[in-house]
Structure 1
């Protein structure tokens, strides 16, 4: 198993992309909760990230509302079910943790869904920022509530590119 990584600037701060055997397996933000240690990212090599970087650029420019990338998501079967369902949440929309739990056939597992959501290894592309509290409140986000708020606001009114800032 060969891991490599690259780092790119984005409107939500630097993003570290990780590939395992040439397939995207991680996208981490600076200061992200559950971010693996840097030594787990492998050597620096931009080669496998051309398409992911192109699609991220289109997303942040307001020209794309989704991603078409092969992913290698390593987690428990439950986590992978949650992450697969996250990819079904439409751009600009949100669901609650309880609704997500119901969608995966575990209506009483909203807390477990929240934990799996928090361990999503490919943020933004697997849009865990689209999950909110039952009352619509912005609760928990591994990348921080400010980033979550910013991503949701961008998606709800994406009439132009998301500007680079120095907030993150």
Structure 2
């Protein structure tokens, strides 16, 4: 399932002590420090002869990661940041297009070859003809009638 999150969110700011608009970004892990105690110890142990000294993790269980949002207050004097974790999802989108309801109507094209080469197109919508076009084409069209589904209007 696709999770779509807006780029701005009006939520509580601890520093301002009120609801403020916040800029939403996705949290990314920073670069690991070379000077952290664990990394220093690991590098010291790995150096020299003896090959790999610690086990390398290979049994990954999860297929997704928990999404963490980084909320930043847009107030110029505040700019406080906080993290907000949301559920696991395979597809995450930030500020994507909203889903819209789409009305699908059945077009019925009827090509009528007559002496005057008139082409009629009628739109059937809710069992009533909403639109009727009749115009000269100047082309010799074959007699053909077929229903075609097309998107007509978005709400």
Calculate the TM-score normalised by the size of structure 1: 0.18
1 or 2, which has the higher helix percentage? 1
Instruction: Report the TM-score, using the length of structure 2 for normalisation.
Output: 0.19
Question: Normalized per residue, which structure has more strand?
Answer: 2
Larger radius of gyration: 2
